[in-house]
Structure 1
């Protein structure tokens, strides 16, 4: 153990002194959790170049001219993918001018697109990255239900890279977001029945509009309740080309969501699903993945009376693909790995917990062909850890996004260093 600590210290010093260049890199003597066909490799290597993984596994030799990093037995995993965040879209929740992930009123609903308001210089992005998070799904949100919180849909989600690049490597139109349950009912007039009737009417309108777009353009179609922008945004959802993220907690609401998906051929992803374990087999049979926080175990609302610490384990046992979320969508995104550790303590197998941070969300959002595992051809998003990634005391020793090493710093750390007592004494007058 002492030898491993010394090796990690030396590795950290080397990495800190090395510029973050997109050059060929070989990470050797590593314990790999590839999350791919190679599985866990006790002593392997990863070779990356041009932003991609060239090779990963046992018996992989560094190519000539590559920068070689000796991991000294440290764990290397794919970069973590945060499944539901507001990173880049929210800075301070209570300062409205820094909140760009929600709109009020009824004029824009499904067409609202978070990508246009993203801020690559958000101070929250480096904080999440220090938790090993390399990609994140940014979700739109509603305003408060009692403050004209918007229409039926929250809007469209986007996938971003946490590399601070000006464009954040945004993948737009990833999914449509819809909230059911108590909050959704409040927006629809106060009852769940009203919301489901409105949803079905909206989907019927979208189908009508898609069939008779030319008539709509000529003004020969009856007046529709949704604006044209929302109708256009919902066509890919009805055609199964865009996922529908459905926030639902109560067992009865989840059943209604599954039925809605069957009736309209929707590709849904459940979010929350605190009572999902009660119908885990039905969710699995429907092929509906789940985004969840496994620490939700208290009946904070009437719709979560059956919340359980074992929700994640029971859903995964039934064959449901899950993604484990952080403790909130902004400042505590990095805690997703802590939450995965809690799920392991409540019965979720370790490999499934790590999958729920990497390959699971990649599969759920349709990007597993390029993210989520250490496999040749995939983006070189990976993390070298000081210890078990599910242990809070462990930290990233190095983080690579698309083959580029990222700085292990953040505004909170810089402020700590600047204003700590020792730093104050060292500053010149």
Structure 2
């Protein structure tokens, strides 16, 4: 019997008591803490009451705590899935199953400007996408609204949610704004008009434009939301790609004292020193290395490495189909490492950096007192050939099962009670 089979058997034996007690001792693991402690070889992690109670070598095993021998395999925090619509959409091509975008009016004057739009209210913790992603080692994601036709460059609010089935957001609200060519149709085909409109929205929120003015575009609730972010109570994520737009954004954020982060940032490397000085985290897609449009002419594979070298906090996001392929963020981090980002910082891009940027308490690293949201891997977690052997949320082992594993077992496994979809081919012909 292989060591992997022995480990799987041990996990199954430990599953039931772990579910009930949230108590666990994992021995002999390569513990990637994603903190200043770095990686600990042949270390133990003790979980009591759903939180990490101790990390070290040769920890004493309490009599009532199940023990698992990791056999030297990597142990990490659960990973950040990026900015997604997990729990907001089931089938991206079927509009009735997508609840992430507010689209009412058309044109600049009729723009639907509703910063109070909060997609977390539509979050479905029973969505099939949660299980699909958590068995891949993802523990949390940032729900992000879309702009859509007839929407606004201010898309609305989202928040961090855990993928353990918890129904409510786990972190504070985040405001989303999109700039650049992709949303120019919402602003009279003018990039300059985007800054003009943002200035107007903020003037309204500060009361400089009366709510009764014919120029006013915000509801009372919308003004209250923008006022909160203007007071520094929350992060504003700007989806922006072009270096010239990022430069204007840094000036705009400084003028209005906004706490910002950047999503996309294909040309962010050109302003790495300025971003580092402003302490702006940048969430990049390391696979976006081609000039897909004029906003991304400077896209390059070592974007993350260049930003990190300048001192910019770097995270990962996907450009396409982020919800159904959220598990591919590991590939993004692996590619960034291949192009110069240090391995420990590749892991931090999926753990510590987003946790700090978006205010997720008790997450982002393995340390005493933190929630025991853990993943035991078969190999390097940034290598796509590795898989999650077991995932724990708050010390509870989850069932490593999803709709995809059920389909795999039905159609690739031996014949069972259910018929196969297609008969096996007659190879004699």
Counterpart Cα distance in 1 of 2:57 and 2:251: 46
Identify the match of residue 343 of structure 1 among 330, 336, 340: 336
> Which residue matches 2:427?
none
Match of 2:415 in 1: 423
Among candidates 119, 126, 149, match of residue 121 of structure 1: 126
Bigger mean CA deviation after superposition, 229-238 or 15-24 = 15-24
Q: What pairs up with 1:304-383 in 2 under 5 angstroms?
A: 304-326=296-318, 328-367=321-360, 369-383=361-375
> Quick one: which of 220, 235, 244 aligns to 1:252?
244
Distance 1:88 1:157 in 2: 12
Provide the residue aligned with 1:92 in structure 2: 91
Q: Is the 8 A contact 2:51 2:368 kept in 1?
A: yes
Task: Note closer, same or farther for the CA distance 1:322–1:339 as it changes in structure 2 (3 Å cut).
Answer: same
Residues 167-204 of structure 1, C-alpha deviation per residue, up to 9 Å, x if partnerless? 1x423642100000112322111111111000011111
Give the equivalent residue in structure 1 for 2:288.
296
Aligned to 2:29: 30
CA distance in 2, matches of 1:314, 1:197: 32
Q: Distance in 2 between matches of 1:22 and 1:102?
A: 40
Q: Is the 8 A contact 2:155 2:178 kept in 1?
A: yes
Q: 1:267 to 1:82 in 2, by over 3 A?
A: same
**TM norm structure 1:** 0.91
Structure 2 residue 2 is matched with structure 1 residue 6: yes
Matches for 1:124-135 after TM superposition, within 5 Å:
124-135=129-140
Given that residues 23 and 67 in structure 1 are in contact (C-alpha distance below 8 angstroms), is that contact kept between their aligned partners in structure 2?
Answer: no
Shift of 1:427: 6.2
**TM superposition shift of 1:228:** 1.2
Secondary structure of 1:394's aligned partner? coil
Question: Which sections of structure 2, spanning at least 5 residues, go unmatched?
Answer: 105-110, 421-429
The question of whether the paired residues in 1 share the 8 Å contact of 2:172 and 2:358 is answered with no
Residue 222 to residue 15, structure 1, CA distance change in 2 (3 Å): same
Q: How many Å apart are 1:242 and its aligned residue?
A: 0.9
Determine the C-alpha separation between the residues in 2 that align with 1:285 and 1:83. Answer: 24
Unaligned runs of 5+ in 1: none
> Partners of 1:59 and 1:239 in 2: how far apart?
48
Separation in 1 of the partners of 2:417 and 2:230?
Answer: 63
Using the alignment, how far apart are the partners of 2:183 and 2:419 within structure 1?
54
Matched, 1:157 2:164: no
Distance 1:154 1:333 in 2: 21
Q: What does 1:393-412 correspond to in 2, within 5 Å?
A: 393-412=385-404
- Listed one character per residue, the Cα deviations across residues 324-362 of structure 1 (whole Å, up to 9, x for unaligned) are 124632111001111111111111111110111111111
CA-CA distance at 1:64 after TM superposition? 3.2
Partner of 1:142: 147
Report what 1:198 is aligned to.
197
- Report the secondary structure of 1:208's partner residue: coil
Shift of 1:403: 1.6
Distance 1:312 1:123 in 2: 32
RMSD of aligned residue pairs (Cα, Å):
2.1
Partner of 2:401: helix, strand, or coil?
coil
Deviations 1:49-102 (A, max 9, x none): 222111123343333311111111111011101231111011111101110111
Q: CA, structure 1 residues 141+405, in 2 after alignment: closer, same or farther (shift >3 Å)? A: same
Q: For 2:56 and 2:264, how far apart are their aligned partners in 1?
A: 35
Map of 2:233 onto structure 1: 241
